[in-house]
Amino acid sequence: EPEVTQTPSHQVTQMGQEVILRCVPISNHLYFYWYRQILGQKVEFLVSFYNNEISEKSEIFDDQFSVERPDGSNFTLKIRSTKLEDSAMYFCASRGKDRSSYNEQFFGPGTRLTVL
Amino acid sequence: LAKTTQPISMDSYEGQEVNITCSHNNIATNDYITWYQQFPSQGPRFIIQGYKTKVTNEVASLFIPADRKSSTLSLPRVSLSDTAVYYCLVGDIIGLTGGGNKLTFGTGTQLKVEL
């Protein structure tokens, strides 16, 4: 069964450093998402991406964040200058274009980001 | 965006049927009801989606009454491995262009299954 993969599984960084979280969505999917979940809290939407541009972003997704699809398979989230409060589990998700499964997003296993 | 309300937690025993009810009083005409499951330190996983009446798949059933102001996720004969958080989400189906359709998660229902 196809699945979304994410690397690394765990990233530790110093405050102020840049991090890039990587995702490989399911190959025939067209819509891509990043979510995050701070320990013990809700899953929060960050950004959606379609047709090589951002479709929607949340208030969390400020100028420190950016997304990119550098090639036909990878989808990345960059945090330019990490803050302590960026420590969270980051999930990538993707979905196909089938209208009947519009709310069916496939999530990756997540990257745990720890900012020290 | 329709607000959803579901129990914070539920306990059950292996082999029992579990029903988790979600209320969504201000659901809109175009909204679908979707349930996700999340195990600790894993990404959410789609379980089932429906618009009205009953939907069944290999994992669960979803019951939606005629007024659509609530829905019930039914898990038949749960096992220990069904211990997870279950989220009820309500959202519309947008056009094929646009690409948004973010998911808005609440706090979910923590289901604990014991022997």
Tokens linked to B26: 């201000």
Distance CA B24, CA B19 (A): 16
Residues of A in contact with B57 (CB under 8 A): none
**The pLDDT value given to residue A101:** 64
Nearest to A104 among B46, B98, B107 (CB): B46
Which pLDDT score, from 0 to 100, does residue B48 have? 94
What is the full per-residue pLDDT of chain B (115 aa) written as tens digits?
A: 678 999 999 999 999 999 999 999 999 888 899 999 999 989 999 999 999 999 999 999 999 999 999 999 999 999 999 999 999 999 876 544 445 678 889 999 999 999 9
CATH number for domain A5-85, candidates 3.10.180.10, 2.40.10.10, 1.10.3720.10, 2.60.40.10? 2.60.40.10
Q: Which domains does chain B have, with CATH numbers?
A: 9-94+106-114 (2.60.40.10)
In B7-115, beta strands by DSSP E: 9-13, 18-23, 31-38, 45-50, 53-56, 61-64, 70-75, 84-92, 109-114
Strands A19-24 and A5-7: antiparallel
Q: How high is the pLDDT of residue B102? A: 85
Decide if B107 touches A, using CB distance below 8 A: yes
**pLDDT for res A75:** 96
Whether residues B102 and A102 touch (CB distance < 8 A) is answered with no
Flag whether residue A57 sits within 8 Å of chain B, measured between CB atoms. no
Between CA B49 and CA B57 the distance in angstroms is 10
Q: Check if B41 contacts A (Cβ < 8 Å).
A: yes
